[in-house]
Amino acid sequence: MHNIYVKSYNKILVEINDIINSIYNNHNQNTQNILKLQHGWVENYMYDPLRTPGITSKPPTAPDTQIAIKKTKRILAKMWKETYYIGINDIRGRGLNTMVLDEMRNILFYSSSNKNKREVIKNLNNNIEKCIALQFIIFIIKEEVEVVRIYSYDNIKTIENHLNLLDSLITKTIVNILFDNNSNYNSQSISKSISWSGTPRSSSSGHSHFQSKANIDKYKKTKTDLVAEITKNNINETDPYLAERWEDMPLKKLRNVISIKHKEGVNTYSVAFYIRTLYQAWNKAVKYSKPFKNPYTRENFTEDDKEYILRSIKILYPNIEKPKIDNGRSDIIVETRNNFYDDESISYTFNYKLNFEKRPILIHLLTFSIPLSFNTDVEPAYIQRYIFENITYLIKNKKLFGKSMPLKIIPGFKEYIGKHIILFKDNYDEYKVFFDKIKNAL
């Protein structure tokens, strides 16, 4: 969707640019004659692009033209006042928040007219007026939003990010970022198995620098104290992954046992886990696109549970991150998510990471969601496990988006760029088409 104002601003900027070029290239001629003869301007033309009431009826003198310019500035400010840039219900911002990303994706992806660095530069030059028009509007919105500060931090941050993106397109610094400096995009970056041979970073007192008071207190307790505490507050007597009883577990492990609460009806109870094996189970589930389930309740761990697990493992390994799928390109971030609302499904989101000087900016490439079951029997050749394995293979081997710039997406996926594709339980035939596109790209 395109914003209703950009085309008009684009025309104005193209005209201004044309006039500037005419005056610059004919600097020995009278400027007034250039405007009248080459651009059709009328003698004593009044500047009034918004047809302001009360201006056009006045004599067209220079002071009145200055007044018209100032009034136009005030009208523009009022026109864009308190625009909710990232909202879809504010017609002024509708389309603006997608046009910037669309322009960036046009540069990121391979096409018949965007095959290499030279053609990327050519396309940037051809679209510069449009980008300047976008930048002009968004900058006005940013100023008005910052004056009143009535909208969220995300609204302002999105505006700032988009202005940075536009600036990189207009100045063409994006070319160096994409082809020279963007974290060596040709290098392979596949997450490795976690090594558990390390120990937490410790202070002189023997406590992790990231320990909370509760965790520090654990170090003061004996093995007997910890075993009694764990068995009293949790329903399980063993760690589900190690199959090791708490009383048989060494003190070092007991200090890294956490409890996760589970609600069943009106009752709430807790299950204890050794944090390292719990994180390993989470990492394995993400790696193989499996649901991350509590082995006792057989229900999926919630997002809050995962945040707690991540905070707990960071006590041992401060630099550890949330598990993510193996990714063959360091400049593409892949996120998987288990969705268990109306339709149980697994979604994949792909974002391109632009390494700007101040901070990285993520450009959404595409998202698709695959159901874990359908309203009909799934043929053996189309079971979901195969498509998950094939997706992982394409990612790890840098086939989904290619190995270089511009990104060369697999056949049949061009129509999905920038979109969120959701396959539902009753869309089995559509799923099969999607499945075959993935399979044919192997």
Domain residue limits, the chain = 6-43+80-181, 213-316, 332-440
> Coil, strand or helix: which one is 371?
strand
Residue with tokens 């990104």: 407
- 8 Å CB contact between 273 and 313: no
Work out the burial of residue 42: count CB atoms within 10 Å of its CB; fewer than 13 is exposed, 13-18 middle, 19 or more buried.
exposed
Token readout for 249 is 């577990």
- What whole-number distance in Å separates Cα of residue 134 and Cα of residue 136? 5
How far lies 174's CA from each of 107, 117, 138, 178, 370, in Å?
A: 9, 11, 19, 6, 34
Q: Could you tell me which of 327, 322, 235 has the C-alpha nearest to residue 282?
A: 322
In angstroms, the Cα distances linking 416 to 77, 268, 311, 330, 410 are 37, 43, 35, 22, 11
Give the pairing of strands 420-422 and 360-371.
parallel
Sign of torsion over alpha carbons 62, 67, 68, 73 = positive
End-to-end CA distance of the chain: 33
Radius of gyration of the chain (CA): 29
Q: How many CA atoms lie within 13 A of 408 on its CB side?
A: 12
Q: What is the pLDDT of residue 350?
A: 96
What is d(CA 358, CA 170) in angstroms, rounded to the nearest whole number? 18
Are 291 and 306 within 8 A, CB to CB?
Answer: no
Output the pLDDT for position 28.
76
Gap between the Cα atoms of 29 and 33, Å rounded:
7
Distance of CA 367 to the CA centre of its chain: 10
Contact 50, 72 (CB under 8 A): yes
State the DSSP string of 169-192.
Answer: HHH-HHHHIIIIISS-TTS---PP
Per residue of the chain (442 residues), what is the pLDDT tens digit? 456 566 666 676 677 777 777 777 777 777 767 777 777 766 665 555 555 555 444 444 555 556 666 776 677 777 777 777 776 677 777 777 788 999 999 999 999 999 999 999 999 999 988 888 888 888 878 877 655 554 566 777 888 899 999 999 999 999 988 987 664 433 322 233 333 333 444 433 333 333 455 555 666 788 999 999 999 999 999 999 999 999 999 999 999 999 999 888 888 889 999 999 999 999 888 877 788 999 988 889 998 999 999 999 988 888 788 887 666 888 999 998 887 666 689 999 999 999 887 788 999 999 999 999 999 999 999 999 999 999 988 998 899 999 999 999 999 999 999 999 989 899 999 999 999 999 999 9
Number of alpha helices (DSSP H) and beta strands (DSSP E) in the chain: 15, 8
- Integer Cα distance of 124 and 106 in angstroms: 10
